[in-house]
Amino acid sequence: MTKCNSSRFIVIGLLISTINVSSVQAANNSLTGKVVEKSTSEPLEFANVVVFISSDSSQVAGATTDEFGIFKFSGLSDGNYYAQIGFIGFSTLTTPAFSLKNSALDLGVLKIEISPIALGNVEVNAEKATFNNSIDRKIYNVERDILSQTSSASDLLQNIPSVSVDVDGNISLRGAENVTIFINGKPSLLMRKNSAVVLQQMPANSIERIEVITNPSAKYKPDGVSGIINIVLKKESRPGLNGTVSASAGNQNRYNANTNLNYKLERLNLYGGYALRHRNSPRVSTSSRITRDSSRQAISYYDDNSSSGSGALAHVLNGGLDYTLNEKNQFDVSGNYFYQDSYRDQTSHTIFRDVMRQITTDFNTDRTNNEYEKEWELTSTFEHNFNKEDHLLNFELNHSGYNEEEDNLYDETYTVPDNSNALHHIQIRKGGTLTELYAEYTYPINEETEIEAGYVGEYLRDDIRYLGEDFNQQQNNWITDANKTNRFLFHQDIHALYGTFGHSFEDFSFLAGLRAEQALITSNLVSSDSTIDNDYFKLYPTLHLTYQFSDRQEIQLNYSHRVNRADSDEHNPFAEYSDPRNMEAGNPKIKPEQIHSVELGYHLKTEHFSVLPTVYYRYKYDAFTEIRQYVNDTTMLRTHTNLASDRSAGAELVVSANIKNILNLNWSADAFYQVIDATNLGYSENKSTISWNTKLAANLHLTKSNLIQLNAYHRSARLTP
C-alpha cells in the first residue's frame, strides 16, 4: 500500500481553497460527502475535493477532508456542478453532474482506489500529525515516539501531555489519580484493579493512538475524577497469519516478554496474545508520628524505619475472534486472564517514646508476605448496521471475576520493656464478580445531526474475609483474634439510561448529553449480623461546544458532571491490618464523590506547529479523604470519610513543532491551584497549594533512517487530603 504525505496535502488543500474564479452570486446551497479507500472503506484524511461548473469546467471551490474523511462546502450558487476527488497515489474520481438550487446535497460515500501505476513505482513517506483535537477528546498519534517501538504502554503514557505515571506505574491525569482506563473504547476489569501492572506489560508497538478525554460525554460511564484515557490498539488488516514477539530485561532481576498472533480470513479474524513480567522492588521507608493532646502539646512519639525486598511474576493471556456474518452484522467474542504471584520480605525497627522522649517500647519485626491474584473476563458483542451510514445498534455482555489472597506472618522481637517475642498471622481473602450489559443505538439524522441513546446495567458482588491469629507460646498453638476476624459482603447494582444529541451549524458544533443513574448499594456486615443500604439517584449532564474560525483555528468549551464511587474496601467497616499496629477500615455510609468539570481550549495549527492552550476548573463536593487516629496507645486506624469540598483551577499548554523536518518538539506544561475545605470535619482553615508539571519529547533526525529522542519531565509536590 502506498503511504501518503499528509502534511503536503494540507498546503495543497489550503491553496486550492483560496482559488475562486466564479463571479456568480452565492445562494443558500451546501454540499457534503465522505471519501474512503475503496479496498478497506477506511476514511481518507486530507483528500482534495474540488468543485467545477459543468458548463465550462471552471473551478469554484476546493477543500480537504477531515480525519473522518468528511468534506463540506457552503454558500455555493445555484447551478450545475461536478466534483473531483484526488489523493497522491490514488486514481482521481470524478462525480456525475449534479444540480444545486437552494438545497443541501449529500454525495454520500465516495470510494477512491490506489493507482496501479503508484503501486509499482511511487513510494511517498509520511507521518501522521502528532496531535489532533476533536469535539470531546485530544488524540495523540504515538508512531513518532521511539518508545512506541521499544517499551510498554506505561512508558508511552509518560510522554502524553496531562498524564503522569509514578514509580509504581499508577496513572494520574492533571494531578488526579482516579482515572478510568479504556481499551478500544471499552472498560475492562483488568484496568480497574491492576491497570498499573497490565499497562507495564502491554507492548507499546501494539498501540495506534492514545485519546485523552477530560470531559467525557454522557455516553460514557461518569466514573473517575479526572476523566478517561482510551488506548486504541492497532488492527491487523493483512490476510493470513501475522504476529510479533518482543522481550526486554533490566537490572534488579526485572524482565518481561510478550507475543501476539493474528490469523485473518475473509470474514473471520482470530487473535491472541501472552505476556509475562517479573519485577523486583527494593524499598526503604521511614515513618514518624507525634501524638498531641487537645491543647496540641506533644504527649508521645513514634518512629519506624524499614527496608524490604519484594517481587512479582505476572501473566496476562488474551484471545478472541471477530466474525462478519454479512455486510450488516458482526459478532465478537474475547477473553482475558490475569495471574500474579508476589512476595515481600521486610525488616523494620520501631520505637515508641513518652512525653520526655524516653523509650517505652523498642522492637524489631520480620515480616513475610505472600500474595496471589487472578482475574478473568469474557466479553461478547453484536453490531448491526442499518442501510444508512453510521446507523448502528450494539449489544455487549461482559462477565468478569477475581480472587485474591494475602498471607502475612509477623515475628516481633522486643528489647524494651523486656526481651521477648511475639508472632502474629493475618490472612486476607477477597473475591467477586461483575456483570455488565450494554445496549447502544446511534442514528445520524443527516450529515449535521446525530443522536445516541443507550442502557447500561452493572451488577457487582464482592466477598471479603479477614482472619487474625496470635501464637500462644504456652499452649504452642494459634489463637484466633475475634477483633481481626470477620466477613463482609458488598452488592452494588447500577442502572443507567443516557442520550446525546450532536449538531453542526456551519462552523459551530455542539454535543449535549444527559445520563440518569440509579445506584442500589447494600453492605452486609456478616460478622455483626447487620446490613446497611446506601442507595442514590443522580443525573449527569454533559455539554461540548466547538467553533471553527478556519481550517487552522478552533475554540472549545466543555462541561461534565462526574462521580467517584467508593469501592467495596472503602465501604467495609471491618479493619484490614497491614501490620499489627496499622489498620485501615472503610465507611459503609460514605457518599459518592461528585465532580463538576469545565474547560476552555483554543487550538491553532499550521503546517509546522500546533499550539493548544487550555484553562480548566474542577469542583468536588463530598470529596474522599482519609482520617487517621489512634485506637489505643500503639495502634493507628486509617478510615475514609467525605470532605466539604476540593477545588482546583489550572492552565495547560501543549506545543508541537516541526523544524525543517529535522527536529520535532513536543512540549507541554500544566499548573493548577488546589484548595481543600475540611470545615465539616472540624478544621477551621482551608489548605491550598500550587502544583505544576512539565514534559518534553524531542526527536532529532540525524539521517533518513537514524533518529535520536530525548524525553524529560518534572512533577512538583502535591496536596493530598
Q: What is the CATH number of the domain that holds 105?
A: 2.60.40.10
Say if residue 126's pLDDT is above 70: no
Same domain, 323 and 275: yes
Cα Rg of the chain (Å, integer): 30
What are the CA-CA distances from residue 320 to residues 333, 385, 458 (Å)? Answer: 5, 21, 23
Ranges of H-type helices in 313-360: none
Segment 83-92 mean pLDDT: 83
720 domain-assigned: no
State which amino acid sits at residue 214: T
- Give backbone dihedrals phi and psi of 14, rounded to 5 degrees, phi first: -70, -40
Ranges of H-type helices in 545-656: 568-571
How high is the pLDDT of residue 342? 92
721 domain-assigned: no
Per-residue pLDDT tens digits for 153-189: 888 888 888 888 877 778 888 777 778 888 887 777 6
More confident residue, 126 or 697: 697
More confident residue, 699 or 531: 531
Residue 507: give the domain boundaries: 133-715
Same domain, 104 and 238: no
Say if residue 29's pLDDT is above 80: yes
- DSSP 8-state symbol, 357: -
How high is the pLDDT of residue 189? 67
Same domain, 53 and 154: no
How high is the pLDDT of residue 178? 77
H/E element, 380: strand 359-385
Q: Are 559 and 543 in contact (CB under 8 A)?
A: yes
Segment 617-629 mean pLDDT: 87
CA dihedral 631, 634, 640, 645 (to 10 degrees): 100
More confident residue, 315 or 629: 315
Grid cell 455516553 in the structure block, residue: 219
Same domain, 564 and 451: yes
126 domain-assigned: no
50 domain-assigned: yes
State which amino acid sits at residue 67: E
**Cα 220 to Cα 510: distance, rounded to the nearest angstrom:** 17
Confidence band for 256, pLDDT divided at 50, 70 and 90: confident
**Cα 678 to Cα 546: distance, rounded to the nearest angstrom:** 37
Same domain, 156 and 114: no
How high is the pLDDT of residue 115? 65
Residue 447 backbone zone (phi > 0: left; psi -120 to 50: alpha; other: beta): alpha
Grid cell 493507628 in the structure block, residue: 636
If we measure between CA atoms, which residue out of 117, 118, 120, 142 comes closest to residue 129? 142
Same domain, 109 and 191: no
Segment 289-293 mean pLDDT: 85
Segment 304-329 mean pLDDT: 91
Of the listed ranges 77-81, 148-152, 500-504, 512-516, the least confidently predicted one is: 148-152
Pick the last residue of a domain from 121, 145, 174. 121
643 domain-assigned: yes
Per-residue pLDDT tens digits for 216-252: 889 888 887 778 888 888 776 677 888 888 888 888 8
**Cα 549 to Cα 604: distance, rounded to the nearest angstrom:** 10
The SS3 of residue 647 is: strand
Say if residue 130's pLDDT is above 70: no
Same domain, 361 and 505: yes
Strands 48-53 and 93-94: unpaired
Same domain, 95 and 196: no
Pick the last residue of a domain from 100, 121, 142. 121
Query: The whole model's pTM is what?
Result: 0.74
H/E element, 155: helix 153-157
CB atoms under 10 Å from CB of 559, counted, come to 17
Please compute, for residue 270, the number of CA atoms within 13 A of its CA located in the half-sphere on the CB side: 4
Average pLDDT, the chain: 85
Same domain, 116 and 177: no
Same domain, 145 and 78: no
Same domain, 202 and 326: yes
Which residues pair with residue 62 across a beta bridge?
50
Per-residue pLDDT tens digits for 403-452: 999 999 999 999 998 888 899 999 999 999 999 999 999 999 988 899 99
The SS3 of residue 120 is: helix
If we measure between CA atoms, which residue out of 521, 517, 687, 675 comes closest to residue 590? 521
Same domain, 100 and 167: no
Say if residue 280's pLDDT is above 60: yes
Pick the last residue of a domain from 63, 98, 121. 121
H/E element, 471: strand 449-472
1 domain-assigned: no
Q: What percent of the chain has pLDDT over 70?
A: 92
407 domain-assigned: yes
State which amino acid sits at residue 439: A
Which residues pair with residue 211 across a beta bridge?
139, 230
Confidence band for 512, pLDDT divided at 50, 70 and 90: very high
How high is the pLDDT of residue 418? 85
Check which CATH number belongs to the domain holding 178 and give it. 2.40.170.20
More confident residue, 523 or 631: 523
How many domains, in total, are found in the chain? 2
**Cα 517 to Cα 125: distance, rounded to the nearest angstrom:** 49
